[in-house]
Structure 1
Amino acid sequence: MELTSTRQGDARIVTVQADRIDAAVAIQFKDRMRLETEGGPDRVILNLSSVSFIDSSGLGAIVAAMKQMGAGRRLDLAGLSPMVEKVFRLTRMDTVFTLFPSLDDAMAELGA
């Protein structure tokens, strides 16, 4: 599971470099997210534009990553494909996370 990370303004942008977040990579994803987000800014944007499939294990790993970040920090999701967005909406996780159509839209909220 490859993740890349950059800091832009008051946010850390973590980009998933894989087409799937599923049971096969969920634990690795969660561990990598912890490494990328510990001690960083309060807002993290998870760029999912390369991800075309997510299952319940992947969804759980993203929720776990948010919880690992701790109180007072925020994990937003950007660039969801229609299929991935559908999973978030069907599971009502769109009420837990703020979903942005693109990374540019998420950054615009920062005023960046």
Structure 2
Amino acid sequence: MKLESKTRGEVMMVSIAEQRLDAAVTVDFKDAMRGLLNGAPARIVLDMSRVRFLDSSGLGAIISVRKSLDQTQELELAELTPAVEKVFHLTRMDTLFPIHASTQSAWEPRSRAS
């Protein structure tokens, strides 16, 4: 599982460089994320612009990463492809995550209340 990360201030952008986030890669995804989260800033944004397919295992892996964060951190999502956005909407998981239309908007400061 290849992840690329950049940090600016209180935002770490993690780009998933895979087209599929499914049962075949979820263990690797969680392990890779665990390694990146050590010392991560308050906001972690997953850039999902390359992910074309997400199954229940992939969704569960993202939720697992969210649960592993400490109280001062938040997991956000950016650039969901239409198929991935549909999964989040149908499962109502879109209510648990701040979702940004673009990675550009995800870099912008936001208040904890929004």
TM-score bracket for this pair, using the shorter chain length: over 0.9
Deviations 1:34-63 (A, max 9, x none): 111121101101100110000000000000
* C-alpha distance in 2 between matches for 1:39 and 1:104: 23
Could you say which structure has the higher helix fraction?
A: 1
Shift of 1:109: 4.0
What pairs up with 1:15-26 in 2 under 5 angstroms?
Answer: 15-26=15-26
> 5+ residue gaps in structure 1?
none
The match for 1:64 is 64
The match for 2:101 is 101
- TM-score relative to the length of structure 2: 0.92
- TM-score relative to the length of structure 1: 0.93
> 5+ residue gaps in structure 2?
none
Deviations 1:51-83 (A, max 9, x none): 000000000000001111122210000010011
Q: Is the 8 A contact 1:5 1:14 kept in 2?
A: yes
Shift of 1:9: 2.2
